[in-house]
Chains A and B, each alone.
Chain A
């Protein structure tokens, strides 16, 4: 375990800075302002343009929800802000048996639940066991426990996990830990009560209020084991569109905004009191092609187009799409063209197709291949399956997401060229979710944030990641199911040698690329902006090119620091001058007015 805790050093330094600057400011100009700042609660207000699917950590899949989960809940280990290596979380130390099948974690004894109860190894064991035993509880994070045999807590500070096969991801278990004393009283895991505060958790913030489509409010956990956050509260405020969020940022109604469009980013870049952050993203956008949705047991569900079950059709579509053009035109260059499901930011696992393998943008070739595969063009120019079903696909996308809305017209035009008709269905987030998990789509825009450990993103394409008949029990990306791929997945999970594991992970990406249940369109740069007059620079992950929001952790929020009274921004000085000027004008104007009135009164009398 390597943990040269950089946080301590930093917070000491910042303490010095704050007191120094504070001293300067109080001497210089505005003692009143500083006092006010100390009295008032500092709340970081974050704009969200994505909806919340669940606050229940077993069900939450959307980025917005899991991002809130990361500040509210604790995990066994965390990813460091610096380079995303596993560091201590609830576990302070760990060791493995010689056969790599038994992991023993030392659990800290200073963690507490927000209702005052003590957090013990028993709670962690309960959480993992729940996911192993209850199919519904496995909805969001089931992949992490797939090879667990037994999880026990011999005492309050020891957790023992036995796995059936060696598992490479034991320090990357992205499972929010829940309190046993609350959850054991529930009848079912997807109890709607667990989507509403009070939600008992142990993270640096506690969810206190939730109004769907309005806001989620969190309060700082002053007893947090890693030290209380420097801010008092964290509000996630919903905005229907990014422009609304941006003007709220400009007006100072929110402090932090992400998922900016290039136009917004370029505008905010030049504004006073607003700082921007362009990060190499860990997200990708993709176009899913329903390869025949089915449940875990192979029972077909949904209404995907039968032609997409043919890998030749999917490959032809991949050749008719130009990721380079999307990166340049839709993202204005704030993105890299996509190829595989692991973004280049994770260079150890990133796989790039060779020139021979790559689906080159070549509509003519795609047309030839579709001709050869027996999809003749009908009289209207639209291709047909041998049985006469025309190749007319629906394209599902998220309303209000500029990437989806914009790329949709590109996809429509490109596929038109190869004789495929596409109609756009741009609908609300929750509707997209519902339809995608029910397999009711042909083509669909999706995207994932990728963890430093590739297990989760790779696990999304396994046969067993598909949901059960009730739509629970798994999170699949594309309903992809391939024996070869699953075999490789099991091998990488068991592989303890890092270099060998990377090799298998790359083979998996190759297999996925070739089978083409999706086309990875681009890796977005994350474009973010915040109020630099109210908050100090945020702790990004990874440093120095990383993101503030949508981290593999909560460093951005947890270590948010109120600005130094804006002393460096020059804002108070300007404001004081402005106030002074206004006051002078007001006094002068008032004086003149008074004199005038006096005169008129005089005159009248």
Chain B
């Protein structure tokens, strides 16, 4: 804002960008003061980097069950630091590649869910009247449907694959986002500058695109981070229940394989613990980040300071 006042010669666009950069810088500084959020972000960055670099750092061919030389269900050893699974594949390798699937599905499902939620929320709040009624009743309908049951049903009916899981989680988990975004949109639309630009003849597209969306986005962003955590858990649950994509290792899928081969009976902790701990760490990191972001961006959550 100050930038705009001191340099009136600049174009409106560059002013807006400068303001946004500044806001982002302020958000980052505030975020950085939250130690939990910062740790979460760093750990996440490392995990994502490792997952992305998996094809470079490891050999995918070692996942091939027909060529592995290691004995099955073997405790940790020099060849396999986290032991081997029921087929004689290194659990460490499975977890590593599983992270790719779990993160990919987590992100994609969260994006889909947030996209649907944001669209429904903004449209409902912006237009009001009967479109709002219809959209919100639709939201309510999906809200009361048990998420997991809906996701299982969808995953069971649709053909197997990553896309199906993403769709199942995304479609089942958008209503909370929609409610949140609608509430935020309503408060934004009540502000005078919206009324001003409406008076100046702004259309729906302009209002939503230029004013409402940018104002809602930070909150959506914080919400997305939290939804990713939920999506990863949902993915693991679906895979554990056996409706996941069996052709790729995901953390839930590894757990499911461990259980069905009798790892719990055998006491094969190296087979059961790593995927579980992996899920816990990633979900914890996302939650820490999400909470920190939310505190920064949502004034109501900011304490006395």
Q: Which residues of A contact B (CB under 8 A)?
A: 241-243, 246-247, 250, 260-264, 266-268, 322, 325, 329-330, 332, 399-402, 405-406, 408-410, 412-414, 423-427
Q: 15 extra interchain contacts, Cβ-Cβ under 8 A, other than A247-B264, A406-B87?
A: A243-B263, A243-B264, A243-B265, A250-B265, A260-B262, A262-B262, A263-B265, A267-B266, A329-B72, A400-B242, A401-B260, A402-B86, A409-B247, A413-B64, A423-B247
B101 at the interface (CB under 8 A from A): no
Point out the residues of chain B lying under 8 angstroms from A410, CB to CB: 65-66, 87
B267 at the interface (CB under 8 A from A): yes
Contact A332 B72 (CB under 8 A): yes
Per-residue A-contact encoding for B242-279, CB less than 8 Å = 1, 0 else: 10001100000000010111111111100000000000
Point out the residues of chain A lying under 8 angstroms from B66, CB to CB: 322, 325, 410, 413-414
B262 touches which of A242, A329, A401, A426 (Cβ 8 Å): A242
Closest Cβ neighbor of A426 among chain B residues: B246
Contact B260 A409 (CB under 8 A): no
Point out the residues of chain A lying under 8 angstroms from B247, CB to CB: 409, 412, 423-424
Taking A332-B72, A399-B242, A413-B66 as contacts, is the C-beta distance between A267 and B262 under 8 angstroms? yes
B179 at the interface (CB under 8 A from A): no
Q: Which residues of B contact A (CB under 8 A)?
A: 64-67, 72-73, 86-88, 156, 160-161, 242, 246-247, 257, 259-268
A and B contact pairs by CB, cutoff 8 A, 20 listed: A242-B262, A243-B262, A262-B262, A263-B73, A263-B263, A264-B265, A264-B266, A266-B266, A267-B262, A268-B265, A402-B86, A402-B262, A405-B246, A406-B65, A409-B87, A409-B247, A410-B65, A413-B64, A423-B160, A423-B161
Taking A243-B262, A410-B65, A414-B66 as contacts, is the C-beta distance between A424 and B246 under 8 angstroms? yes
Taking A246-B262, A409-B65 as contacts, is the C-beta distance between A426 and B242 under 8 angstroms? yes
A478 → chain B closest CB, angstroms? 23
Point out the residues of chain B lying under 8 angstroms from A246, CB to CB: 262, 265
A285 → chain B closest CB, angstroms? 15
B88 touches which of A268, A329, A414, A425 (Cβ 8 Å): A329
Cα separation A246 to B260 with both chains bound (whole Å):
11
Contact B266 A263 (CB under 8 A): yes
A101 → chain B closest CB, angstroms? 51
Cα separation A260 to B232 with both chains bound (whole Å):
31
Contact B260 A242 (CB under 8 A): yes
Contact A405 B257 (CB under 8 A): yes
Cα separation A426 to B160 with both chains bound (whole Å):
9
Point out the residues of chain B lying under 8 angstroms from A399, CB to CB: 242
Contact A329 B87 (CB under 8 A): yes
Contact B73 A405 (CB under 8 A): no
Point out the residues of chain A lying under 8 angstroms from B257, CB to CB: 405-406
Point out the residues of chain A lying under 8 angstroms from B246, CB to CB: 405, 408, 424, 426
Point out the residues of chain A lying under 8 angstroms from B261, CB to CB: 261, 263, 402, 406
Point out the residues of chain B lying under 8 angstroms from A262, CB to CB: 262
A47 → chain B closest CB, angstroms? 13
A595 → chain B closest CB, angstroms? 43
Point out the residues of chain A lying under 8 angstroms from B88, CB to CB: 329
Cα separation A329 to B89 with both chains bound (whole Å):
11
Point out the residues of chain A lying under 8 angstroms from B264, CB to CB: 243, 247
Cα separation A399 to B247 with both chains bound (whole Å):
14
Cα separation A427 to B264 with both chains bound (whole Å):
22
B265 touches which of A267, A322, A330, A405 (Cβ 8 Å): A267
